[in-house]
Structure 1
Amino acid sequence: MDNKTFSLQTDLALYCRTGLYEPQTSIQEHTFHYRRLVYNVIKDTLRRAFPMTRKLIGKRRWKKMVMHFFEYHKCQTPQVWKLPQEFSDYYQQVNFPFKKKFSFLVTLLQYEWLEIEVFMMEDLPIDEFSIEKKSQEDRIIPNPEIKILSTEYPVHLKNGKEITEEDKGQYFVSVHRDFYTKQIQFNDLSYPFVEIILKANEGCFSRKDFIELLAKYDSDREKIMKLYQDFEQFALQNTIFLGYQI
């Protein structure tokens, strides 16, 4: 790309964002349409990405957020579907006047973005597995297409308008792509089970390994074994675990 072409692209991008300093183009009478078209692409992409955020803060605040992002943020990604991540990051950097009113909005934006990120992520390699367990020592094959979000507010459990400071605590939600349907699933989890999922994705572990891990949280062996057995069944039914190593 020569310097002249790069300079024109830079000038056109600035014009599209701000509406100022209209550059000279080959069809000048069409130049003003570029800004409207680009804005509509960004507006529609963000609208689809953040339905919960839009509903929570209202149309007026949402419109101001999007326009602020459009005018002042220099987008880094050439892929439109990744714009919501930049929007989420941008919100954290800008001192919007309503930030104090919606203390958990950073988390809600991250939560909604994760759904897109996991849905669009590349297929990851998975070892062959069987859904039948032959022995208690069979190693678990986990679903690697998963993200864990740690949050102070239950954005995955309650309507945003019902969340208050009294709800503030420690929550964990898994966001994963179902192995068979490819749809996104969300699950509220306690930390011991989050640790099991993380360990499973670090390498192959057996039932015995996971029970030993849970022993850090409770000394009642019988209770621990029942907890793990229930979680394993839950994880298999929801394709957080896929099966057992062949």
Structure 2
Amino acid sequence: MSGRDSREPEPPATLRAQQEALAAYLRNPAEAPPPEDLDDRGRRVYRRLVFNNLKGLLSSNFPVLRRSLGEEVWLDLVADFLAEHHAETPYFLRVGEEFLAYLAGARGDRSGDPPFLLELAHYEWVELALSVAEEEPGEVSADPEGDLLTGLPVRSPLAWTLQYRFPVHRIGPGFLPEEPPEQPTCLVVYRDRVDAMGFLEINPVTARLLELITEDPAPGAELLRRVAGEIGHHDPERVVAAGADILADLRDRDVLLGTAPPAGPQTGS
């Protein structure tokens, strides 16, 4: 049986092994040993480049969160993310998703983190996700002048309904709630036809109306009567009258794009 002479030097590490060793060190230099063939200056340069690039990406994606936490806490959070999370994608535009996955998963509820941390991060990520979404309102078939009560309201694919425990749209350095209010916060975040971003705080009734428009399309008046029944309102027609103004406002904001065109008569050959 033949084998390598124990006096022979070990073969050089593979490129992959070298990359993994360098990556482990750059992620967490306090825990991983530095690569032997990289001098102190090189280590500092690479570490600074990696950390600063990640910090820059996250700071641009989550500016309110950064200001709300303060610079020292924010830098610690970025360092923890780099050390503890292994991303599933190499694309810069997906770094925000990876950060959310870290906050919701590996980080969990950590002592010292504000209770709104994950929700505020999600709200800021939604704005980024909508700003780069490929859907275009102009590609949706809808009559922009259609009657929203008698026709089927059409919702924009770039209008997302969100519900949070905390009023995330109000959080900032001057407002850092420690307890959520009794009522949840319902929001619509949207991108309009000229690519401007906007948000609208809505009540649970309007949130339910938008949900029905998406999941069970019907004429607007019918959907409003259904909502009136669900909330036990004594006068459904008052709900319809008030709802007409709500539907019109949502269309003005491009949350609704108009009404679905009526189905034409079937013709045979």
TM-score by length of 2: 0.78
Q: CA deviation at 1:127?
A: 3.3
Matched, 1:223 2:238: yes
AA matched with 1:141: V
Q: CA deviation at 1:73?
A: 1.5
Matched, 1:76 2:88: yes
Larger radius of gyration: 2
Q: 1:73 to 1:136 in 2, by over 3 A?
A: closer
Q: CA deviation at 1:43?
A: 0.4
Distance 2:211 2:91 in 1: 29
AA matched with 2:26: C
- Whether the aligned pair in 1 keeps the contact of 2:27 and 2:83 (CA below 8 Å) is yes
Q: CA deviation at 1:144?
A: 1.3
Distance 1:133 1:124 in 2: 19
AA matched with 1:13: A
Decide which of 169, 183, 188 is 1:174's aligned counterpart: 188
Identity across the alignment (%): 22
Distance 1:154 1:45 in 2: 25
- Whether the aligned pair in 2 keeps the contact of 1:53 and 1:109 (CA below 8 Å) is yes
Match of 1:146 in 2: 159
Q: CA deviation at 1:24?
A: 7.3
Q: 1:105-140: CA deviations, max 9, x gaps?
A: 221111111111222223168532222226853222
Q: Out of 166-175 and 235-244, give the one that drifted further.
A: 166-175
Q: CA deviation at 1:71?
A: 1.7
Q: The residue matched to 1:229 in structure 2 has which SS?
A: helix
For the aligned residue pairs, the C-alpha RMSD in angstroms reads: 2.8
Task: Return structure 1 stretches of 4+ with deviation > 6 angstroms.
Answer: none
Match of 2:227 in 1: 214
Q: CA deviation at 1:148?
A: 2.2
Q: 1:187-217: CA deviations, max 9, x gaps?
A: 1111121122122223543123322222222
Q: The residue matched to 1:103 in structure 2 has which SS?
A: coil
Match of 2:213 in 1: 200
Describe how 1:67-106 pairs up with structure 2 within 5 A: 67-92=79-104, 93-94=106-107, 95-99=109-113, 102-106=114-118
Match of 1:108 in 2: 120
Q: The residue matched to 1:130 in structure 2 has which SS?
A: coil
Gaps of 5+ in 1: none
Describe how 1:18-97 pairs up with structure 2 within 5 A: 18-19=28-29, 20-23=32-35, 33-92=45-104, 93-94=106-107, 95-97=109-111
Gaps of 5+ in 2: 1-12, 262-269
Distance 1:31 1:56 in 2: 32
AA matched with 1:57: L
Q: 1:60-111: CA deviations, max 9, x gaps?
A: 1111111111122212221112212222332344253312xx2222211111
